[in-house]
Amino acid sequence: MPEDSIILDIEALEAAVESRNVEGFLKAAEELHYADLAAVFENLDDEERSFFTAHISIDRFPEILAELPDTLIEETLERFDAKAQQDILGQLLDDDRADILQDVSAEARQRYLALLQPEDMEATRSLMRYDEDTAGGRMTTQVARITSDMTVKQVLEVLRDDINSTESLARIYVVDDQGHLMGKVRLRHLTFSPWDTPITEIMQEVDITILATADQEEAAQMFSKYDMTVLPVVDEFNHLLGIITHDDVLEILEEESTEDIEKMSGIAGETSEETYLNTSIGTHFKRRFPWLFVLAVLAISSGYVMLRFEHVLSSIFLLALYLPMVVAAGGNTGGQAATMVIRAMSLGELEPGSTFKVILKELSLGLLLGLIMGASIAAITIFILPAFNPQLPEGISYTIFALAVSVSLAVQIAVSTLSGALLPIGARAIKLDPAVVAAPAITTLVDIFGMVIYFTAARTILGL
């Protein structure tokens, strides 16, 4: 459906809700994807949400519910009676149901579980054993599972009978009578093989699996590295527990990237699933204030450095012209280095033993950047600055002044680049999140380093 048409349908739905037009609501809702319906629902007020839930088809609402932010799950389910709750929860995929029930209160969770069929309850409880950010928390148990003693005909009959309880047929997994993963079968091989062919003859080895306790980010990395569409999840004894599919990975990547961006910006707390406009000011405040306060206190150190070197600055006021540039250059290069290293770490490109290679690479790059930047600023100072006729103390030439500035700039860039690279590595070594520690800290530390380097170089070279 063209985007313009979707926008028109969304506007029609919103207008129908606002005017309480049931016929218009049903017509517009029928045209929209469940993700668009969820986005509309999230932006409605309480009365409008009541109208929405009173008239939306129960068969469509499970998919809508799975798209809502966790803070709206329980409130939304409570708008339905017990029979409707049972229908909605029963139609959800096992992994979606487990995720949803982990986002409600303990009392509501027990009530909702009691509404489920025994097999659905068992599958949901088994998934809820795992943290939401693990492979086990992301997997679905609705997997095409066959045994090694079957023929092609038997497998096709099983798949036809169980089609509604299987999320993906991209891979069909073969297990023994104890549930150990033995291999996989492609659907096209089943389709073109004689019916009496033993499944073991067309079975392929499963090369890549992931433990249920592994971090979800590791699962996303494996999808990218091995170009996968489905990833089997096993326990430590190689029992097949479930699968992670490509749509799960898209959600993981969105969550992880959002989390990393927020951490690198100094935003504390868990990543919210709510949209920016629907997140309360209080929540924004609680997540932003801690690092802002810590960095503000640390910034006092920068002021202390300036006090210590007050006599240097008062001797040559022109030094103040270059101070912001030196400090900013360090912050920029340090931030670049930290970002590149954190990205490499998140993609699994840096092993714990790669520290020396990182030091050598970033030190070389920092020196090269520093020398080129220093030489460029020196040229500007020598050939362009005199045109503005700034005052320098007697005995100090533009060349000597340019040397002091360029040396401090080169050293600042080299030190900042190396610091930006080492902070994430150091954070990982002491079991801290590199994104949390490195990015907010680098700015303040580089400010302090930059001032010390700048004023020390000026005092030494200019003889102040």
Longest dimension (CA), the chain: 100
Q: Per-residue pLDDT for the chain (464 aa), expressed as one digit of tens each?
A: 567 788 888 999 999 999 999 999 999 999 999 999 999 999 999 999 999 999 999 999 999 999 998 889 999 999 999 999 999 999 998 888 998 999 899 999 999 999 999 999 998 998 999 988 899 999 988 888 999 999 999 999 888 887 666 767 778 999 999 999 999 999 888 889 999 999 999 999 999 999 999 999 899 989 988 888 899 999 999 999 999 988 888 888 877 777 666 665 555 555 555 566 667 788 778 777 877 787 788 778 888 888 888 888 888 888 999 999 999 999 899 989 988 888 888 777 887 778 889 999 999 999 999 999 999 999 999 999 898 888 888 888 999 999 999 999 999 999 999 999 998 888 888 877 776 666 667 777 888 889 999 999 999 999 87
Q: Which of 198, 230, 246 is the last residue of a domain?
A: 246
Token pair, residue 222, equals 């494996």
Query: In CATH, what number is assigned to the domain containing residue 44?
Result: 1.25.60.10
Structural domain contains residue 272: no
Domain count, the chain: 3
Strand partners, 295: none
Q: In this structure, are 289 and 383 located in the same domain?
A: yes
Confidence (pLDDT) at 261: 66
Q: In this structure, are 293 and 380 located in the same domain?
A: yes
Smallest CA-to-CA distance from 228 within 198, 256, 203, 248 is with 248
Across 156-192, b (16+ Cβ under 10 Å) vs e yields: bebbeeeeeebbbeebbbbbeeeeebbbbbeeebbee
Q: How far apart are CA 321 and CA 327, in angstroms?
A: 12
Across 115-126, b (16+ Cβ under 10 Å) vs e yields: bbeeebbebbeb
Confidence (pLDDT) at 154: 93
Token pair, residue 136, equals 């086990």
Residue ranges making up the domain that contains 69: 3-133
CA distances from 280 to 57, 285, 287, 356, 398 (A): 30, 9, 11, 45, 55
Contact present, 38 and 67 (Cβ < 8 Å): yes
Q: In this structure, are 389 and 434 located in the same domain?
A: yes
Smallest CA-to-CA distance from 451 within 316, 303, 338 is with 303
Q: In this structure, are 161 and 93 located in the same domain?
A: no
Structural domain contains residue 253: no
Q: Which of 115, 133, 151 is the last residue of a domain?
A: 133
CA distances from 158 to 177, 178, 445 (A): 16, 18, 63
Q: In this structure, are 213 and 64 located in the same domain?
A: no
Q: How far apart are CA 384 and CA 381, in angstroms?
A: 6
- Residue 417 contacts by C-beta under 8 Å, 6 or more apart in sequence? 333, 334, 336, 337, 362, 363, 365, 366, 369, 370
Q: In this structure, are 291 and 351 located in the same domain?
A: yes
Confidence (pLDDT) at 267: 58
CA distances from 374 to 137, 292, 362 (A): 52, 32, 17
Q: In this structure, are 105 and 19 located in the same domain?
A: yes
pLDDT tens-digit readout, 401-448: 999 999 999 999 999 999 999 988 888 888 777 766 666 677 778 888
Structural domain contains residue 273: no
Structural domain contains residue 256: no
Amino acid occupying residue 435: A
Q: In this structure, are 194 and 303 located in the same domain?
A: no
Structural domain contains residue 212: yes
Q: In this structure, are 312 and 362 located in the same domain?
A: yes
Q: Which of 246, 265, 291 is the last residue of a domain?
A: 246
Confidence (pLDDT) at 269: 53
Q: In this structure, are 307 and 438 located in the same domain?
A: yes
Across 334-368, b (16+ Cβ under 10 Å) vs e yields: bbbbbbbbbeebbeeebeeeebeebeebbbebbbe
Strand partners, 198: 151
* Beta-strand pair 230-234/210-211: parallel
Structural domain contains residue 308: yes
Structural domain contains residue 275: no
Structural domain contains residue 259: no
Q: Measured in Å, how far apart are the chain's first and last C-alpha atoms?
A: 72
Considering the entire predicted model, what is its pTM?
0.65
Confidence (pLDDT) at 272: 53
Query: In CATH, what number is assigned to the domain containing residue 143?
Result: 3.10.580.10
Q: In this structure, are 331 and 182 located in the same domain?
A: no
Q: How far apart are CA 393 and CA 317, in angstroms?
A: 10
Q: In this structure, are 144 and 112 located in the same domain?
A: no
- Residue 73 contacts by C-beta under 8 Å, 6 or more apart in sequence? 65, 100, 103, 104
Token pair, residue 1, equals 């459906």
Query: In CATH, what number is assigned to the domain containing residue 409?
Result: 1.10.357.20
